[in-house]
């Protein structure tokens, strides 16, 4: 079967989605399909508070509590272990004592504090930023659901349990981990701790991931193309080697699909490894390997690998600008996808069946037809297909999760990122410090080889 027929068959069986024509979308500006504000128990939307990557902690308001509402809060705290959190963190003994004292300032202060802490951890995660290694995602849930607004809503609705539950992640994997935690004996402390850690990782993300998104779980070596939280396609991946080239955790946006890409070789290779000088002195080798070599007036040598079967990026890359220079792309070394352990790259995500992924993204994200996509691929020319819908890409790190078949399992802790999160859970809860993004140094990983 030829490429066109094979893709049509694969597309028709695998997706079965109604797609807009390219003509209908040609003049459209990119339409974001990033997570929308999380639904709440109240029909009244919560106010949005613009917040930068870091914000100093603020004192939450002290609300007026009835004894009945405080008892409901105490009940929620006592059962919060089902969400992978620790009831003692929210001072149930102090709340119980305040309830016995009746309505008044003491009850107002304690109940407000306990509720605000519970909201923070359910919305944003219990693990503070300094324990999240290479975590470069800014969670927008605080903007959509400020603590003060959620607190006021909880008391106004008199449904504290429902308000708290509405902060939980909507990803199916969170519910699966929650069910596993409920089924795991309390004596199996190590397994329960690992479940809690990975439930918390879901809380680090926006509550709603979006209608369309790509998610790759680095330790699993798999990428998912997801629609309405259902996997439509999955692809084996090659990820960064442990150490300096470990793949960071990111949430970015695909702005375009590049077919037949060029690759600008980084100066760490051009100059640091002497590639520029070698190719400049051997034009035949440069032509044979598809490199265009230029010596600038200041003596700097630039090397750009042209499109072709030997290009380090293969035949496709997803254009997702970010400060790490991390992206998803094809590779000419496709035999490596047959390896079991695939932590082999310099940080970027190499993806199997990359042409299929790129064509699928082009059809879903730009409205182009299958025929148009096939012609672009066959042209052999550098072509960037801009998205009219911008797809989120989540590069994540779960060591316990459902695999692409839906089976729950564990994955090797490739980069030893579990230990600091486990330690944070074993230690007393730390107050929120205002950090919403890591202060770790960005390591620009721009070498796909």
Does a structural domain hold residue 250? yes
Does a structural domain hold residue 56? no
Same domain, 228 and 357: yes
Number of domains forming the structure of the chain? 2
pLDDT of 144 strictly over 70: yes
Does a structural domain hold residue 170? yes
Does a structural domain hold residue 278? no
Does a structural domain hold residue 292? no
Residues β-bridged to residue 252: 393
Same domain, 163 and 311: no
Same domain, 186 and 77: yes
Same domain, 221 and 145: no
Does a structural domain hold residue 115? yes
Same domain, 221 and 362: yes
Judge contact between 272 and 395, C-beta under 8 A. Answer: no
Q: What's the mean pLDDT in 398-417?
A: 96
* pLDDT tens-digit series, residues 186-212: 999 999 999 999 999 999 999 999 999
DSSP per residue, 280-321 = HT-HHHHHHTTEEEEE-TTS-EEEEEPSSTT-TTTTEEEE--
Q: Which residues contact 422 (CB under 8 A, 6 or more apart)?
A: 193, 194, 197
Domain range spanning residue 351? 3-32+210-262+307-396
Same domain, 17 and 122: no
pLDDT of 400 strictly over 70: yes
Q: Which of 262, 203, 247, 219 shows the shortest CA–CA distance to 401? A: 219
Same domain, 329 and 372: yes
pLDDT of residue 49: 33
Does a structural domain hold residue 281? no
CATH classification of the domain holding 12: 2.40.440.10
- The pTM (predicted TM-score) of the whole model is 0.85
pLDDT of residue 145: 94
Same domain, 176 and 102: yes
Cα–Cα distance for residue pair 270/272, rounded to 1 Å: 6
Same domain, 252 and 366: yes
List the end-to-end C-alpha distance of the chain, in Å, as a whole number.
32
Same domain, 27 and 73: no
Q: What's the mean pLDDT in 61-89?
A: 97
Does a structural domain hold residue 38? no
* pLDDT tens-digit series, residues 305-348: 999 988 999 999 999 999 998 999 999 999 999 999 999 998 99
If you average pLDDT over every residue of the chain, what do you get?
Answer: 87
Same domain, 374 and 228: yes
212-217/383-396 β-pairing: parallel
Same domain, 88 and 103: yes
pLDDT of residue 367: 85
């Amino acid at each position: 079967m030829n490429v066109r027929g094979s893709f049509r068959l694969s597309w028709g069986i695998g997706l079965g989605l109604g797609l807009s024509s390219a003509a209908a979308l040609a003049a459209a500006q990119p339409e974001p399909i990033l997570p929308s504000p999380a639904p709440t128990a109240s029909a009244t939307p919560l106010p949005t508070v613009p917040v930068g990557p870091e914000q100093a902690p603020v004192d939450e308001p002290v609300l007026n509590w009835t004894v009945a509402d405080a008892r409901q809060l105490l009940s929620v705290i006592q059962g919060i272990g089902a969400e992978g959190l620790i009831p003692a963190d929210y001072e149930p003994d102090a709340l119980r004592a305040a309830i016995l004292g009746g309505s008044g300032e003491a009850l107002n202060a304690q109940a407000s504090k306990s509720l605000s802490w519970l909201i923070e951890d359910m919305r944003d995660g219990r693990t503070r930023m300094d324990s999240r290694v290479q975590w470069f995602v800014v969670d927008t849930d605080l903007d959509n659901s400020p603590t003060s607004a959620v607190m006021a809503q909880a008391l106004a609705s008199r449904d504290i349990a429902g308000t708290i539950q509405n902060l939980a992640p909507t990803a199916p994997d969170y519910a699966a981990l929650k069910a596993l935690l409920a089924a795991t004996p309390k004596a199996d402390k190590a397994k329960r701790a690992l479940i809690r850690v990975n439930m918390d990782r879901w809380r680090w993300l926006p509550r709603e991931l979006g209608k369309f998104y790509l998610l790759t779980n680095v330790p699993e070596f798999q990428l998912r193309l997801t629609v309405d939280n259902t996997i439509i396609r999955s692809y084996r991946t090659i990820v960064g080697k442990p150490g300096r080239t470990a793949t960071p955790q990111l949430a970015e946006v695909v702005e375009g699909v590049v077919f037949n890409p060029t690759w600008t070789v980084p100066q760490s290779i051009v100059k640091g490894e002497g590639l520029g000088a070698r190719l400049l002195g051997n034009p035949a080798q440069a032509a044979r390997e598809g490199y265009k070599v230029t010596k600038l007036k200041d003596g700097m040598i630039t090397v750009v690998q042209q499109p072709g079967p030997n290009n380090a990026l293969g035949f496709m890359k997803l254009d997702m600008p970010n400060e790490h220079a991390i992206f998803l792309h094809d590779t000419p070394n496709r035999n490596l996808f047959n390896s079991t352990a695939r932590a082999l790259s310099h940080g970027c995500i190499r993806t199997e069946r990359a042409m299929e992924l790129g064509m699928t993204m082009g059809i879903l994200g730009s409205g182009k037809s299958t025929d148009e996509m096939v012609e672009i691929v066959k042209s052999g020319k550098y072509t960037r297909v801009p998205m009219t819908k911008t797809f989120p890409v989540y590069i994540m790190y779960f060591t316990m999760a459902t695999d692409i078949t839906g089976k729950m399992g564990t994955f090797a802790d490739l980069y030893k990122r579990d230990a600091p999160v486990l330690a944070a859970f074993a230690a007393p809860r730390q107050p929120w410090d205002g950090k919403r993004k890591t202060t770790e140094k960005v390591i620009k990983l721009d070498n796909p080889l």
